[in-house]
Amino acid sequence: MAQKSTADGSAGSRPLWPEPWAIDVATQADRISHRVRAAVAAGGEDAVRAAYREAIESHLTAARQAARSRGRALKRGPADRWRGTSIELAYRHLHEAKVFLTELVPEDELDELVPEVQAKIAYCLPPDDVRRLRLGEFATRADQGSGRKRAAISQAMQIIYSATDQMHARIRSFRNLVLSATALIAVFGTALIVVVYVKPELLPMCFYPSAELPGSPAGAICPSGAATPTANDIIIIVGIGTVGGVLASLFAIRKVRGTSTPYNIPVALAVFKVPVGALFAVAGVLLMGGGFLPGVGGLDSQRQILAYALVFGFAQLLATRLIDARGISLLNELPGGETPAPRSLFGPSASTEGPAQHLLSKVPEVVTDQVRSAILGPPLVNFDGWVSVAVLHDGALVAVGEDRRVALVRGRSYSVLVTVGPSQVAELAERLVVTGGVDRPAVEFSAEIDSDQPALRREPEPVRVSSRSAGSASFDVSVDDPVNLWIRVAQGRRTLQSISLLIVPA
């Protein structure tokens, strides 16, 4: 049987909005109603107390109606969620009812309100505010009249709830701003994906580790694994960046214990990082391709491109940290927030951060360093020397032309000798200088050969070099057709020098 509307004006059979705040409002409204009936039964009721009781019931009725569904809607609409109409209406009426309740509660219960009100008002007023000082007198002096005490507590509660309502409005505005930015970035990213998917040459994400001009298919390395820009490149980079953004969201919310406010800022901040991660991945790959990141050489494999896209998607955590801090500070500014009041309000206090919290706060930096180390290897070792390349046949040196063209006899076996050392030992040589790293007596390099002909590609060989002696690696090659060779020298996983050769049959 359907429930009828009650005398207090509640919505009867209309259900509550299926949200925690509506349950909280309904529970608090019932508790206030019971306290009003108890106060009237204990102290009687005259015309003034009857007026206060009617005001409380009126506010409670409005609060209950705002917490319940309207019409056939079982959930609040987008406009209500965006503006917070039902939430603001319910809590503001609830707050007014609590303020009027101070006029009805007995004297002993009024005394118990003083410490709680003092603690909350510390968040709203400066230490030297006369209203805050006046309220403190009631906790230390016994000669304060009941009427003056009620007036002071009522005024203090009005200040507290007014500040709380304003903070809720600021939190809602901040949440809406974050969600708006998320939507705009998502729309922009989707438009970019569509345009580049249709015309991938407009935003090439390929790398050219060889010395050839961009556009040559021989030396191109793309995110999709193809030798030329394809429509899948942008999809892959955005997808990997999104994964990095999700990982950043997991680390960003590690300090957030949740919130009792109806506006879930932590979720909005976590969602915000997902499209930002995709955008950072695209921007990072473009910056590396354009040579705008000093100390990072050209990428020479598909896996490196994808790994850097993941790192850039995660690294946006550093850029969005200020936004996270602002959101958390808004939550903590509420009376009863997670952080203590400023030191100027309560005097000096010791830090509450324990060893576990301290270690946990270092997780993003540690993870970033670990990801960087896994991709790039250990820190670079300083070096100042040369990379020399010589082509040999039976120990005899083969001439290399000024255009780095080498003529080799078909079917004959040759050796490509790569030497890294403090001085130049062959006619074909390039400087290799590493600065800003660490100093070591010996340096571990690796040398490899890449080619547009897969059969001529050679795996990296270790090259150990000291300040006084050189190290070398030898690779056997045999050619039948014109091919390009790229001799690359790396330290860790960073390619530091690349020398190209054009091999033509003699």
**In this predicted model, what pLDDT tens digit does every residue of 233-272 receive, in sequence order?**
999 999 999 998 888 888 777 666 666 678 888 888 889 9
Q: Which of 170, 185, 211 is at the close of a domain? A: 170
Same domain, 127 and 241: no
Asked if the structure places residue 480 within a domain, the reply is yes
Average pLDDT over residues 427-448: 90
- Tell me: pLDDT of 140 over 60: no
Asked if the structure places residue 82 within a domain, the reply is yes
Cross-strand partners of 407: 504
Same domain, 267 and 217: yes
Asked if the structure places residue 184 within a domain, the reply is no
Asked if the structure places residue 187 within a domain, the reply is no
Q: Rounded to whole angstroms, how far apart are CA atoms 498 and 492?
A: 15
Q: Which of 155, 170, 185 is at the close of a domain? A: 170
Q: CB under 8 Å to 494, separation ≥6 — which residues?
A: 296, 297, 376, 377, 380
SS3 call for 374: helix
Same domain, 358 and 406: no
Asked if the structure places residue 10 within a domain, the reply is no
Asked if the structure places residue 7 within a domain, the reply is no
Nearest CA to 280 out of 247, 243, 241, 308 is that of 241
Same domain, 156 and 134: yes
* pTM (two decimals): 0.59
Q: Give the pLDDT confidence score for residue 357 in this predicted structure.
A: 45
Same domain, 157 and 264: no
How many domains does the chain contain in total? 3
Crossing angle of helices 47-66 and 20-43, in 10° steps, is: 170
Same domain, 274 and 303: yes
What is the CA angle 304-296-439, rounded to 5? 115
| SS3 sequence of 97-137 | HHHHHCCCCCHHHHHHHHHHHHHHHCCCCCCCCHHHHHHHH
Same domain, 27 and 165: yes
- Tell me: pLDDT of 497 over 60: yes
Range of the domain at 282: 197-344+353-376
Same domain, 281 and 369: yes
Q: CB under 8 Å to 15, separation ≥6 — which residues?
A: 68, 69, 74
Same domain, 390 and 372: no
Asked if the structure places residue 180 within a domain, the reply is no
Q: Which of 170, 186, 221 is at the close of a domain? A: 170
Q: Give the pLDDT confidence score for residue 10 in this predicted structure.
A: 43
CATH code (residue 413)? 2.60.40.10
Same domain, 220 and 360: yes
Asked if the structure places residue 177 within a domain, the reply is no
Same domain, 372 and 409: no
Give per-residue pLDDT as tens, 335-386.
655 444 333 333 333 344 444 444 445 545 555 555 555 455 567 889 999 9
Same domain, 162 and 236: no
